[in-house]
């Protein structure tokens, strides 16, 4: 019987999954909500069901049962990192295959405290800080003092600490302290905040790494215990709210002269990432995020237990038998329990790939997301260019306000970095994206911002 997959997501990733299913010869069912009726993923889907909300587990599982699906792909965002969803999918009476890692992996590796502890046990460098929540301000001050001294020993010029809620995330309940006198009052404040917001008083203290590059390792593991990596990516260009805007693969430009041994750093972060994955028994796609400092230090920051938006640039530079890789296809194959058909040695890395995220946002107004209607959306097709978008080009498109305002992903390939960068500039020059806001004003996008930031790729930036 043909396997059938439920796509529990929208937009670009839903289109990618549909494409992968067709190539693999699987049936699929797409879901959509009222706001997304205009979206391309709905128009192109052969079978689709309207639901109330992409986050409604009960709805999704009802659709899956109704259509006799045997797999479910959560994409990214929404339920992709909800371990309860993954657990329910696996543990219900009519279980489905969750296209992603095990639910334990989502829960444990998604937990920063657990990750830090596990990494420390495996001698993987993590950002210096506490590995247990602190409840006591005397202890907090003591830890802070220890940390500041450690940073001094490691030779950091600029030393400061983050005090943050153990249960927090996404930039909530986090504050920077520069000297020891501030620790106690800030600690008390954060603890009260944590108690109010997350119900748990636990507080963490962590060193702030002032200047960084954000590098991540793309890992794929099968359920049979085989592991490969698809190189690294560099995502240093981020909005102030830690949202990525430009990603580039590979993660390092070895021609840049930093008086650092970049090759060594790359091979070590890959080695450590694989060590953690093997030790945990991780399977499916996963991304290990690292911070690299100009001093040549590197720290494991977090593990993303899902497919990422920027997965395709890794696929573009990885070649097996001279064909570039489709990571989503690989992910589905692994979920079906297949073995990997290749070894690490058979994966060859060639060229450079850049991803630009086109977003309707006002960069000057603190990256405020905008809503409105896209009237013109045109670009010049090139062999080196892939555009991933759910925005239709043949008629105006209203940007739904409920979801993130990503409009399109532009993936540019070049045989080397200089060429890729030039092509990216060229693409942005030729890109036409116009629209109006609901007030009738011209819709702003981050096109100019991207142009500007393309020039500082591969540099160390203040975090």
Partner 1 sequence: MKIELHKKLTHLMETAIYIRDIKGEDFCDIQTLIEKLLEVHQNFYSYSVEELKSFIESTNQKIEFLLQKAEETLTPYEIVKIVRHPQRITLQDILENVYDNYMELGGDKEINLDPAIVCAKAMLIRKVDNELYFHQVMVIGHEKGHGEEYRQGGSAKPWGNEKALRYMKMAETEGIPIHFFIFTPGAYPIEDYPGAAQQIAKNLYYMAGLKVPTISFISEGGSGGAEAIGLTDFRLMAEKGYYSVISPEGAAAIEANLKEGRPPRELVEKCANFLKLTSYDNLKLGTIDRIVPEPPLGARKKDFDFFRRLKVELIKATDEIVLQTKSLKMFRKYVLSKQDSENFKFYVDWDLTEDEREILLENRIKKYRKISKWAVYEPKSIMKSFMEVGHNLSLKVKNEIKYKILKQGQKSFKKFLSELSSESSVILKPVSDPVKTVYNLIVGKKLKPRIGSQYIPEETTPYESPLALEDKTVSCPQGEKYGCPDLWVPDLYGEFCGVCPNCNYHFPLEYTWYLNNIFDKGSIRTFNDEISSTDPLNFAGYSEKLREAKENTGVNSALLSFEAKIGGISLIAVMLIGDFRQGTVGVAEGEKFIRAIEIAKITRRPFLALVHSTGGIRIHEGTLGVIQMPRCTIAVRDYVEAGGLYIVVYDNNSYAGPVASFLGSAPYQFALRSTRLGFAGPRVIRETTGQDVPPDYHSAENALKRGHIQGIWDRRELRKKIFTALLTMGGQNLYYR
Query: Is 306 a known active-site residue?
Result: yes
Structure tokens at 311: 């997965």
| Cβ proximity of 247 and 310 under 8 Å | yes
Burial level of 435, CB count in 10 A (0-12/13-18/19+)? buried
Burial level of 215, CB count in 10 A (0-12/13-18/19+)? buried
CB of 180 to partner 1, least distance (A): 12
H or E element: which one contains 50? strand 48-50
Catalytic one among 245, 306, 357, 423? 306
Q: Is 125 in the site for partner 1 (CB under 8 A)?
A: no
Q: Which stretch binds partner 1 (CB under 8 A): 1-9, 55-63, 180-188, 294-302?
A: 55-63
Rounded CA-CA distance 323/23 in Å is 14
Q: Which of 23, 65, 132, 181 binds partner 1 (CB under 8 A)?
A: 132
Burial level of 153, CB count in 10 A (0-12/13-18/19+)? exposed
H or E element: which one contains 385? strand 385-389
Q: Is 91 in the site for partner 1 (CB under 8 A)?
A: yes
Residue 391 Cα to chain centre, angstroms: 21
Closest C-alpha among 394, 362, 360 to residue 378: 394
Torsion sign (Cα): 254, 255, 256, 261 = positive
Q: Which of 44, 49, 57, 347 binds partner 1 (CB under 8 A)?
A: 57
Q: Is 142 in the site for partner 1 (CB under 8 A)?
A: yes
CB of 141 to partner 1, least distance (A): 9
Q: Is 158 in the site for partner 1 (CB under 8 A)?
A: no
Q: Which of 170, 199, 240, 440 binds partner 1 (CB under 8 A)?
A: 199
Alpha helices in 7-157 (DSSP H): 11-24, 40-44, 57-66, 83-91, 103-109, 112-121, 137-154
Binding mask 67-86 for partner 1 (x = CB under 8 A): -----------------x--
CB of 142 to partner 1, least distance (A): 6
| Cβ proximity of 237 and 244 under 8 Å | yes
Q: Which stretch binds partner 1 (CB under 8 A): 91-99, 312-320, 340-348, 438-446?
A: 91-99
Torsion sign (Cα): 311, 317, 318, 324 = positive
CB of 135 to partner 1, least distance (A): 5
# residues near partner 1 by CB under 8 A: 18
Alpha helices in 244-356 (DSSP H): 262-280, 311-317, 327-335
CB of 138 to partner 1, least distance (A): 6
Q: Which of 88, 233, 244, 388 binds partner 1 (CB under 8 A)?
A: 88
Q: Which stretch binds partner 1 (CB under 8 A): 135-143, 215-223, 383-391, 428-436?
A: 135-143
Rounded CA-CA distance 438/455 in Å is 33
Nearer to partner 1 (CB atom), residue 134 or residue 335:
134
CB of 62 to partner 1, least distance (A): 10
Nearer to partner 1 (CB atom), residue 94 or residue 442:
94
Q: Is 93 in the site for partner 1 (CB under 8 A)?
A: yes
Structure tokens at 364: 């000057």
CA distances from 337 to 28, 99, 224, 305, 333 (A): 18, 10, 8, 18, 7
Angle at 17 (CA atoms; ends 13, 20), nearest 5 degrees? 140
Nearer to partner 1 (CB atom), residue 82 or residue 175:
82
Q: Which stretch binds partner 1 (CB under 8 A): 30-38, 132-140, 359-367, 402-410?
A: 132-140
CB of 448 to partner 1, least distance (A): 41
Q: Which of 3, 56, 104, 268 binds partner 1 (CB under 8 A)?
A: 56
Nearer to partner 1 (CB atom), residue 136 or residue 393:
136
Q: Is 133 in the site for partner 1 (CB under 8 A)?
A: yes
What's the chain's Rg over C-alpha atoms? Answer: 22
Q: Is 153 in the site for partner 1 (CB under 8 A)?
A: no
Binding mask 371-410 for partner 1 (x = CB under 8 A): ----------------------------------------
Name the phi and psi angles at 415, rounded to 5: -70, -25
CB of 114 to partner 1, least distance (A): 11
Active site amino acids: 306
Contact set with partner 1 (CB under 8 A): 56-58, 84, 87-88, 91-94, 132-133, 135-136, 138-139, 142, 199
């Amino acid at each position: 019987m043909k396997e059938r997959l439920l796509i529990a997501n929208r937009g670009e990733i839903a289109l990618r999954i549909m494409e992968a299913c067709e190539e693999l010869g699987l049936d699929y069912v797409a879901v959509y909500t009222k706001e997304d009726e205009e979206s391309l993923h709905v128009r192109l889907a052969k079978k689709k069901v309207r639901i109330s909300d992409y986050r409604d587990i009960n709805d999704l599982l009802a659709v899956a049962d109704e259509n006799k699906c045997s797999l479910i792909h959560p994409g990214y965002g929404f339920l992709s990192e909800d371990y309860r969803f993954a657990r329910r999918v696996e543990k219900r009476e009519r279980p489905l295959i969750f296209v992603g890692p095990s639910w334990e992996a989502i829960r444990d590796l998604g937990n920063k405290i657990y990750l830090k502890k596990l990494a420390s046990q495996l001698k993987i460098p993590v950002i210096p800080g506490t590995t247990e929540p602190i409840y006591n301000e005397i202890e907090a001050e003591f830890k802070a003092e220890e940390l500041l001294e450690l940073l001094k020993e490691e030779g950091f010029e600029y030393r400061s600490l983050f005090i943050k809620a153990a249960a927090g995330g996404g930039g909530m309940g986090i504050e920077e302290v520069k000297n020891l006198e501030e620790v106690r009052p800030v600690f008390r404040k954060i603890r009260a905040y944590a108690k109010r917001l997350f119900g748990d008083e636990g507080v963490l203290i962590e060193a702030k790494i002032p200047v960084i590059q954000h590098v991540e390792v793309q890992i794929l593991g099968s359920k049979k215990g085989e592991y490969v990596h698809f190189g690294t990516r560099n995502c240093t260009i981020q909005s102030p709210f830690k949202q990525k805007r430009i990603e580039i693969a590979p993660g390092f430009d070895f021609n840049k002269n930093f008086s650092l041994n970049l090759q060594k750093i790359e091979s070590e972060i890959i080695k450590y990432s694989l060590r953690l994955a093997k030790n945990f028994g991780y399977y499916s796609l996963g991304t290990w995020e690292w911070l690299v400092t100009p001093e040549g230090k590197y720290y494991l920051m977090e593990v993303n237990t899902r497919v990422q938006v920027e997965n395709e640039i890794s696929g573009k530079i990885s070649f097996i038998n001279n064909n570039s890789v489709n990571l989503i296809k690989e992910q589905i194959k692994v979920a079906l329990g297949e073995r990997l058909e290749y070894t690490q040695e058979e994966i060859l890395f060639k060229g450079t790939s850049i991803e630009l995220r086109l977003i309707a946002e006002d960069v000057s107004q603190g990256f405020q997301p905008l809503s409105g209607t896209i009237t013109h959306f045109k670009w010049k097709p090139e062999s080196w260019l892939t555009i991933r978008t759910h925005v239709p080009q043949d008629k105006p498109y209203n940007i739904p306000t409920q979801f993130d305002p990503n409009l399109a992903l532009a993936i540019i390939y070049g045989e080397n970095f200089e060429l890729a960068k030039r092509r990216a500039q060229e693409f942005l020059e030729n890109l036409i994206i116009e629209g109006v806001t609901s007030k009738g004003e011209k819709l702003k996008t981050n096109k100019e911002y991207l142009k500007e930031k393309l020039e500082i790729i591969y540099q160390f930036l203040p975090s």
